[in-house]
Amino acid sequence: DAGVIQSPRHEVTEMGQEVTLRCKPISGHNSLFWYRQTMMRGLELLIYFNNNVPIDDSGMPEDRFSAKMPNASFSTLKIQPSEPRDSAVYFCASSQAPGGGNTEAFFGQGTRLTVV
Amino acid sequence: GENVEQHPSTLSVQEGDSAVIKCTYSDSASNYFPWYKQELGKRPQLIIDIRSNVGEKKDQRIAVTLNKTAKHFSLHITETQPEDSAVYFCAASPGGTSYGKLTFGQGTILTVHP
């Protein structure tokens, strides 16, 4: 398996533009997580899904952020409109719920977002 | 919600020495405690984890201890090598169907000098 795949790897956009980050979890994993990493706030959980259903979005900073998981192999994180303070590395991670064996959360390579 | 505190924020050791990183957590419902290593510009990768029914776990040069009563857990790296230099994060999770729902500590920058 190629692991968790995120795209794009780097994104530079102007303030006010819409940004969409994409994630393909490891095949067979049924939990998907979006994390954000900044120097100031470290690694923060934004939202997570179990079996494609959003379970906890309490970490989503504000209404400008939204996430979807239309099927088991794809998820998006959208920021509209983007602001300079959204600049960060966004990680997607996936794991398999207990009963399915491995519970480790595997991280993708991340998307480095810069909003200018 | 859960709060995880990690110390020290930076740690510098000589090759061959041991390194210890400590974390405390606040939510007694947490029962899964992984440790991740992140090299510069790369993704966090799991190096060891422990569940609350276990007090200690060892994997070669790495060990983790857990004290649920005191709500703290520690990472021990023995015989450190320069390639151990990275940022290390502890985390806590409620487990169940949410093993990947991780609250991270602030990270420890470990530098191993040859």
Instruction: Report residue B63: phi and psi, to 5°.
Output: -140, 150
Pairwise CA distance, residues A67 & B49, whole Å: 29
Residue A111 has pLDDT above 90, yes or no: yes
Residue A58 has pLDDT above 60, yes or no: yes
| Torsion from C-alpha of A28, A33, A34, A36, nearest 10 degrees | -130
* Token pair listed for A23: 């994630």
Pairwise CA distance, residues B38 & B86, whole Å: 6
Residue A54 has pLDDT above 60, yes or no: yes
- Chain A environment of B48 (Cβ under 8 Å): none
How sure is the predictor about A2, in pLDDT bands with cuts at 50, 70 and 90? Answer: confident
- Please indicate whether, in this complex, the C-beta atoms of A105 and B34 are within 8 angstroms of each other: yes
- Please indicate whether, in this complex, the C-beta atoms of A97 and B101 are within 8 angstroms of each other: no
The pLDDT value given to residue A96: 83
Q: Which of A74, A80, A86 is nearest to A111 (CA)?
A: A86
The partner residue sitting opposite B99, judged by closest CB among A56, A95, A109, is: A95
- Please indicate whether, in this complex, the C-beta atoms of B100 and A94 are within 8 angstroms of each other: yes
The pLDDT value given to residue B28: 92
Pairwise CA distance, residues B49 & A97, whole Å: 16
Q: What part of B 44-83 touches A (C-beta under 8 Å)?
A: 44-46, 49
Pairwise CA distance, residues B48 & B57, whole Å: 8
- Chain B environment of A106 (Cβ under 8 Å): 46
Pairwise CA distance, residues A77 & A69, whole Å: 9
- Please indicate whether, in this complex, the C-beta atoms of B95 and A110 are within 8 angstroms of each other: no
Pairwise CA distance, residues A7 & B85, whole Å: 28
Q: Per residue of chain B (114 residues), give pLDDT as tens.
A: 899 999 999 999 999 999 999 999 999 999 899 999 999 999 999 999 998 877 899 999 999 999 999 999 999 999 999 999 999 999 999 877 677 789 999 999 999 999
At position B108, the amino acid (one-letter code) is: T
Q: Which of B38, B89, B97, B9 is nearest to A110 (CA)?
A: B38
